[in-house]
Amino acid sequence: MSENHSSDLATDRAHAVDRAGSCGCSGDSGVSRRGFVAGAGTLVTMTLATGVVLIAPAQSKPVDEPASPDVRWGLLVDTSKCEAGCSACVDACREEQGWEGHGRPEQNPQWIRKVDLKETATGRTFSLPVMCQHCTHPPCVDVCPTGASFKRADGIVLVDRHICIGCRYCMMACPYKARSFVHEDIENQKPHMPRGKGCVEACTLCVHRIDAGGVPACVEKCGGAGTGAMLFGDLNDPNAEISKRIATYATTQIRPDLKLNPGVFYQGL
Amino acid sequence: MSATTKIVYRELDGHSPHFWRVLGGVALFVLAGLMSAFYMEHHGHHVTGMTNQVVWGMPHVFAVFLIVAASGALNIASIGSVFERGLYKPLARLSGLLALCLLAGGLTVLLLDLGRADRLIVAMTHYNFRSIFAWNVLLYSGFFGIVAAYLWTMMSRHGAPFYKPAAFAAFLWRLTLTTGTGSIFGFLVARDAYNAAIMAPMFIAMSFAYGKAIFMLIMVGVYTATGRPLGDVVVTRLQRLMGIVLAATLYFVLVQHLTNLYMEERRAVEAFILTGDTIHTFLFWVVQIGIGGIIPLVLLLHPRLGGSRSASVLASVLIIMGGLAQVYVIIIGGQTYPLTLFPGMEASSQFFDGVVNTYTPTLAEIVLGIGGMGIALALVLVACALLRFLPESLADEVIDPDHVAKIVDMADEAGNAEAAKA
């Protein structure tokens, strides 16, 4: 687990225990927690000493600070650029978060998927990615009996694997089919994303990258190997590119009639 | 009931070989259920038919059925206490006990089907008060407490002064509880098959029917097996009552589907359930409406079958079959129908967008569900052997020495005749 991510959760949810250990999953068994912390400490000391990284990326959040309510992270997908058959975003997410399947498509986790659409009236076709829509009013958070589904102050909807009991009511409630249940033991997990059999999971908007000042893996890959159809940014910042685009062009959200105000916008849909 | 009549309650003979044989048989189902749960927990839910599309499977069907039936089973006690029908009072202890045991069985299945059943303590210590699920956890816990207190007021001299308040509290609580259970589905805005306020009252009507059917089977079974007298008055009364609540259930089903058919956006899901080519259409029309609705309605309300033990038992079995089918169609049918993410568009993806999902339950899931029923039955048997829940006799002359039932029936008939003349 990255230090950024674990610290966020500790701050946001007052959980200071190790997520990977608590959720019963194996994590990255090759590196012990103590060893990792010691190594990271050495690295930090060395880099500070040389003055190489004294200036952090502009948007990175100090690890001991909670997420800011002044920010609303969101995505904009330009469907005119998103090509059917391109799965760069899905591949990037799978690689980043390590959620490869076990050969059972209906039970495999799917944090992000490409959906091909055909408008019934006109025959026009689209292709677009669908992931957790990080709603302002997430039904998954409302229905979760233990509060394991929660929304950070910056709009990112996450699952606290410490207290997820695997009831799957959030999956029943999500209009976007964005959540997956882990049906079996998991191995070779990513250190920043501990997962566990019997818990529910979904797109985290790459919260570990965002807190480090980066962008979600899907957006990064879409801009590289993909078609540049995805844009990430702060919806609350009128000067952010995403806000300007949404203000300029007609965009929509999936099922806006439900009034959940998703943080993912689609252009050209 | 005559003021001089005293109902004598007596434990089941817990030392008889017959009792142990029955209990042993039931225990095997419980054991099989627990082993299934362990198998599912150990391997993960990939050994079930549940998927990321159909996330609630057979364990939920059994669990919801049992939980709904639990609150309905309590109504027989409520009719005696809240509605002052003396003929039902001798049945009140068994009614309360059955309610507790069915709820325990249902909740056990629900718990053992959790992805992290080991986190029971988390579920009990972390509450999100916006969650209808969390409300239900409180409603279930409260139900145990209130019904236990209600039983205490019936079975203990010290509790007797609190009988009425406990009876009213239990009645109101059970209505609230089933409202909560129905609302688990009623509050799901995203799914076309649910998201309707009628789910709550429909679940209450369903609970009356299921609970009374199970009560009838347990009562006839225990009294027949132990040779205790069971008169026609009790059977006839329960028979009619079951007929009425079954008719009420069918009424709510009718209204639910008519309402959905009226709404353009719901017509597709209605067509899927009512006229589709999946198992759900068969289960709805043949098992729920036909076998579990119309046939038992005739068996229960046909004048010539009044008081018939075999008709009552058969009707009860059919209601339970129909009830399981109904809950299956609600829970599984509602999930197999695809979510509408993009109205007016045809959707397809590698994650089964736009297609009817499939669900094939595995043996482990079904055995876990049956194990929950076994738990309920085992608890009833053990409790009846330990404490005085069952009247020694439910013969007509014991529970109705003044022939109140006959007088009421004659008055009804006379009234009907008058009405016919007029």
Q: Do A116 and B52 touch (CB under 8 A)?
A: no
Q: B 105-124 residues with CB below 8 A of A?
A: 114-117, 119-120, 122-123
Q: Do A143 and B132 touch (CB under 8 A)?
A: yes
Q: Do B126 and A255 touch (CB under 8 A)?
A: no
Please state the rounded mean pLDDT for residues B145-167: 95
Phi–psi pair at B94, nearest 5 degrees: -65, -35
Cβ–Cβ < 8 Å for B136, B180 = yes
What residue spans of B276-342 are helical by DSSP H?
279-282, 295-301, 309-328, 334-336
Q: What is the pLDDT of residues B14-68, one digit of tens each?
A: 999 999 999 999 999 999 999 999 999 999 999 999 999 999 999 999 999 999 9
> Cα(A215)–Cα(A210) distance, rounded to whole angstroms?
6
> Cα(A159)–Cα(A161) distance, rounded to whole angstroms?
6
Residue A9 DSSP symbol: H
Q: Do A117 and B119 touch (CB under 8 A)?
A: no
Cβ–Cβ < 8 Å for A89, A218 = yes
**B360-387 core/surface letters (b: 16 or more CB in 10 A; e: else):** ebbebbbbbbbbbbbbbbbbbbbbbbee
ipTM of the complex: 0.91
Tell me the Cα Rg of chain B. Answer: 22
- Residues from chain A that touch B340, judged by Cβ atoms under 8 A, are 255
- Residues from chain A that touch B119, judged by Cβ atoms under 8 A, are 163-166
Phi–psi pair at A97, nearest 5 degrees: -100, -15
Q: Do A198 and B114 touch (CB under 8 A)?
A: yes
> Cα(B215)–Cα(B98) distance, rounded to whole angstroms?
7
- Residues from chain B that touch A196, judged by Cβ atoms under 8 A, are 116
> Cα(A140)–Cα(A148) distance, rounded to whole angstroms?
10
> Cα(A126)–Cα(A128) distance, rounded to whole angstroms?
7
pLDDT of residue B5: 62
Has residue B166 got a pLDDT over 60?
Answer: yes
> Cα(B50)–Cα(A106) distance, rounded to whole angstroms?
9
Select from B55, B115, B344 the Cβ nearest to the Cβ of A165: B115
Q: Work out the burial of residue A145: count CB atoms within 10 Å of its CB; fewer than 13 is exposed, 13-18 middle, 19 or more buried.
A: buried
Cα-based distances in Å from B105 to A16, B94, B380, B383 = 36, 16, 11, 14
> Cα(B192)–Cα(A122) distance, rounded to whole angstroms?
25
Bridge-partner residues for A128, per DSSP?
Answer: A115
**Pairing status of strand A200-201 against strand A73-78:** unpaired
Separation in Å, CA of A3 to nearest CA in chain B? 25
pLDDT of residue A66: 87
Say how far residue B383 (Cα) sits from the centre of its chain: 20
Cβ of residue B55 closer than 8 Å to a chain A Cβ: yes
Please tell me which residue of chain A has the smallest CA distance to B191: A175
Nearest C-alpha neighbor of A166 from the set A55, A24, A16? A24
Other beta carbons less than 10 A from residue B333's beta carbon: 23
> Cα(B189)–Cα(A175) distance, rounded to whole angstroms?
8
Concatenated DSSP letters of B40-71:
HHHH-GGGSS--SSS-S-HHHHHHHHHHHHHH
Has residue B112 got a pLDDT over 90?
Answer: yes
Residue B126 DSSP symbol: -
> Cα(B131)–Cα(A172) distance, rounded to whole angstroms?
13
Cβ of residue A146 closer than 8 Å to a chain B Cβ: yes
Q: What is the pLDDT of residues B345-369, one digit of tens each?
A: 999 999 999 999 999 999 999 999 9
pLDDT of residue B52: 97
Q: Do B119 and A163 touch (CB under 8 A)?
A: yes
Those residues with Cβ within 8 angstroms of residue B108's Cβ, 6 or more apart along the chain or in another chain:
B371, B372, B375
Q: Residue B363 corresponds to which tokens in the numbers above? A: 């043996």
> Cα(B326)–Cα(B324) distance, rounded to whole angstroms?
5
Amino acid at A160: D
> Best interface-test mutation with A: which of B113, B132, B140, B349 has the largest number of A CBs within 10 A?
B349
Q: Do B348 and A258 touch (CB under 8 A)?
A: no
Separation in Å, CA of B87 to nearest CA in chain A? 41
Going residue by residue through chain A (269 aa), what tens digit of pLDDT does each one get?
Answer: 333 443 344 344 433 333 333 333 333 444 455 555 555 555 444 444 444 444 434 467 777 788 999 999 999 999 999 999 999 999 999 999 999 888 999 999 999 999 999 999 999 999 999 999 999 999 999 999 999 999 999 999 999 999 999 999 999 999 999 999 999 999 889 999 999 999 999 999 999 999 999 999 999 999 987 789 999 999 999 999 999 999 999 999 999 999 999 999 999 98
Separation in Å, CA of B55 to nearest CA in chain A? 7
pLDDT of residue A52: 42
Other beta carbons less than 10 A from residue B125's beta carbon: 10
> Best interface-test mutation with B: which of A117, A131, A140 has the largest number of B CBs within 10 A?
A117
Q: What is the pLDDT of residues B209-222, one digit of tens each?
A: 999 999 999 999 99
Cβ of residue A15 closer than 8 Å to a chain B Cβ: no
Select from A107, A108, A143 the Cβ nearest to the Cβ of B131: A143
Separation in Å, CA of B186 to nearest CA in chain A? 11
Nearest C-alpha neighbor of B23 from the set B315, B381, B372? B381
Question: What's the pTM?
Answer: 0.89
Say how far residue B22 (Cα) sits from the centre of its chain: 23
Q: Do A173 and B52 touch (CB under 8 A)?
A: no
Amino acid at B160: A
Q: Do A115 and B348 touch (CB under 8 A)?
A: yes
Residue B294 DSSP symbol: I
**Three-state SS for A47?**
helix
Amino acid at B246: L
Nearest C-alpha neighbor of A266 from the set A138, A150, A170, A129? A129
Q: Do B131 and A144 touch (CB under 8 A)?
A: yes
- Residues from chain B that touch A146, judged by Cβ atoms under 8 A, are 122-123, 126-128, 134
- Looking up tokens 């975003």 gives A89
Q: Name the helix (H) or strand (E) containing A40.
A: helix A33-50
Cβ–Cβ < 8 Å for A236, A72 = yes
Q: Residue B201 corresponds to which tokens in the numbers above? A: 């009252």
Select from A164, A167, A177 the Cβ nearest to the Cβ of B133: A167
pLDDT of residue A34: 54
Cβ of residue A137 closer than 8 Å to a chain B Cβ: no
> Best interface-test mutation with A: which of B55, B121, B141, B181 has the largest number of A CBs within 10 A?
B55
Q: Residue B152 corresponds to which tokens in the numbers above? A: 């205490």
- Residues from chain A that touch B43, judged by Cβ atoms under 8 A, are 184
Cβ–Cβ < 8 Å for A193, A109 = no
Q: Is the dihedral of CA B363, B365, B371, B373 positive or negative?
A: negative
Cα-based distances in Å from A178 to A126, A132, A135, A158 = 19, 5, 12, 12
List of domains in chain B: 17-410 (1.20.1630.10)
Please tell me which residue of chain A has the smallest CA distance to B117: A165
Cβ of residue B341 closer than 8 Å to a chain A Cβ: yes
CATH architecture of the domain with range A3-267: 2-Layer Sandwich (3.30)
Q: Do A165 and B53 touch (CB under 8 A)?
A: no
Q: Do A172 and B128 touch (CB under 8 A)?
A: no
Cβ–Cβ < 8 Å for B190, B173 = no
Nearest C-alpha neighbor of B115 from the set A204, A198, A27, A243? A198
Cβ of residue B137 closer than 8 Å to a chain A Cβ: yes
- Looking up tokens 């995403």 gives A242
Rounded to 10°, the helix B199-226/B92-112 angle is 120
Amino acid at A168: R
Cβ of residue B350 closer than 8 Å to a chain A Cβ: yes
Nearest C-alpha neighbor of A89 from the set A208, A215, A199, A222? A222
Nearest C-alpha neighbor of B333 from the set B314, B358, B355, B308? B358
Q: Name the helix (H) or strand (E) containing B23.
A: helix B17-43
Cβ of residue B4 closer than 8 Å to a chain A Cβ: no
